[in-house]
Amino acid sequence: MVERRTPISVSDAVEKVMSKKFEGAVEWVPISDCDGRFLAEDIVATHDVPHFNRAPYDGFALRSVDTAGASRENPFEFEVVEELGAGMVPQKPVKEDQAVRIMTGTQMPAECDAVIMLELTEEIKKDSRIYIRFKRPLKKGENVSFKGEDAKKGDVLVKKGSMINPGIKAVLATFGYDKVPVAKKPVIGVFATGSELLDVSEPIEPGKIRNSNSYMISAQIKRAGADVLYFGQLVDNLEVSLEAIRQALEKVDLLITTGGVSVGDYDLLPDIYDKLGAEVLFNKVGMRPGSVTTIASLENKILFGLSGNPSACYVGFELFVRPIVRTMLFSDKPHLQKVQAILGADFKKPNPFMRFVRTKITYKNGQLAVVPSGMDKSNIITSLAGSNSLTILPGGTRGFSEGDTVFALLLDDQEGSVWPW
């Protein structure tokens, strides 16, 4: 008698996995190596930026009060008493009707509150002194980049859990982070299972296929921000597989297997969970693809039994493994970002289960639009290649039509979503 499994809803399944609390750890890496890593602390401004008033243009710093009344008909002449380049600090006090030649980025003399651009002045030499002539008044604060205008000491500038991008790196350098606190990358073990599997380097032969899932999952693990520990392919032998999985579990927090979770004679994972004494959280989810996704916990570890079918395996990873990884990377939005989009093609297949259709999302007439990126069966590989989103089609309907409003999960996004989506 074949085992009958009771499916649980996708949201119950996600919640069961997320109820297993995983915490991240911190490590410090040189700033030059922090690209793409996830911040382990909020970045707080430790000083004002800029930390002094400065000139945003090459020109002349002066006291705006002295410029009142300057006009084309009545040009003013001020003596230039000092010349300052960026990095220099003013040495002389600036008095009434005096100016200082100043370059972009230079600290303003304390007495000055405006800068007139070089192009608006004419230089005159008289009695070996230099003067500028200009024909307009300046307002207080005109052309001054003020202390603290970019950031004020104490401002929280970047939240913990953010993926470090070039802009965040600029902020880190501004505040002197030669070493950056980042989340340690969780290490995730991967096994492919199935006696039909050939390695990528082997020629195809009758009845066998190349193992594509372990390469796909490894790439998903890296995209999520973790490291892969690949343990290889397991043939369908219970004792060998059990021992390999038992040993691997000692080296990782999370272990992914692909294949062998359904009800076939060689689907060994259910037995393996049993023999390990792992608690199966669920072994059937009301979703397509990936209904056979099985997740078990053993002590403080999680075993993700993803489907062998490539698209089912892919979806299972994004829904259940990614949020755990992102939680360990300190994200408070660990789930895939959900957006609203217009369905760009009919999707008439009815299904009692919630569907996650591999789709390509693009902008069309100012709106997000999704179209399937290929065939929608769980054993299909090629539709994954062009997919940048999973479109959620709720179950229990007669299908969907072009123009319907739907929700899609973004696969390449770094922003994420809180739960529930």
Ligand X SMILES: Nc1nc2c(c(=O)[nH]1)N[C@H]1C(S)=C(S)[C@@H](COP(=O)(O)OP(=O)(O)OC[C@H]3O[C@@H](n4cnc5c(N)ncnc54)[C@H](O)[C@@H]3O)O[C@H]1N2
**Contacts to Mg ion by CB under 5 A:** 262, 264, 267
Residue 375 touches ligand X, criterion: CB under 6 A: no
Q: Toward ligand MOO, which CB reaches closer, 309 or 389?
A: 309
User: How far, in Å, CA of 216 to CA of 181, rounded?
Assistant: 29
By the 8 A CB rule, do 285 and 8 touch?
A: yes
Q: Toward ligand X, which CB reaches closer, 69 or 207?
A: 207
Distance of closest approach, residue 353 Cβ to ligand X, in angstroms: 10
111: exposed, middle or buried (Cβ count in 10 Å: 0-12, 13-18, 19+): middle
Distance of closest approach, residue 370 Cβ to ligand X, in angstroms: 23
Distance of closest approach, residue 195 Cβ to Mg ion, in angstroms: 12
Distance of closest approach, residue 306 Cβ to ligand MOO, in angstroms: 10
Q: Toward ligand X, which CB reaches closer, 211 or 327?
A: 211
By the 8 A CB rule, do 409 and 371 touch?
A: no
What is the residue whose two structure tokens read 């079918």?
309
Give which of 387, 400, 317 is closest to 354, Cα–Cα: 400
Number of residues that bind ligand X (CB under 6 A): 27
Beta bridge mates, 54? 107, 145
Q: Toward Mg ion, which CB reaches closer, 178 or 274?
A: 274
Residue 64 touches ligand X, criterion: CB under 6 A: no
Q: Toward Mg ion, which CB reaches closer, 259 or 372?
A: 259
User: How far, in Å, CA of 196 to CA of 398, rounded?
Assistant: 37
Residue 13 touches ligand X, criterion: CB under 6 A: no
Among 189, 260, 316, 334, binds ligand X (CB under 6 A): 260
89: exposed, middle or buried (Cβ count in 10 Å: 0-12, 13-18, 19+): exposed
Choose among ligand MOO, ligand X, Mg ion, none what residue 316 binds, the Cβ cut-off being 5 to 8 Å by kind.
none
Give which of 314, 312, 323, 270 is closest to 294, Cα–Cα: 270
Reported as half-sphere exposure (CB side, CA atoms, 13 A), residue 201 has a value of 0
Binding-residue pattern over the window 281 to 320 for ligand X, x denoting contact by CB under 6 A:
--------x-xx--------------xxxx-x--------
Q: Which residues bind ligand X (CB under 6 A)?
A: 192, 194, 196-197, 209, 211-214, 258-264, 267, 289, 291-292, 307-310, 312, 378-379
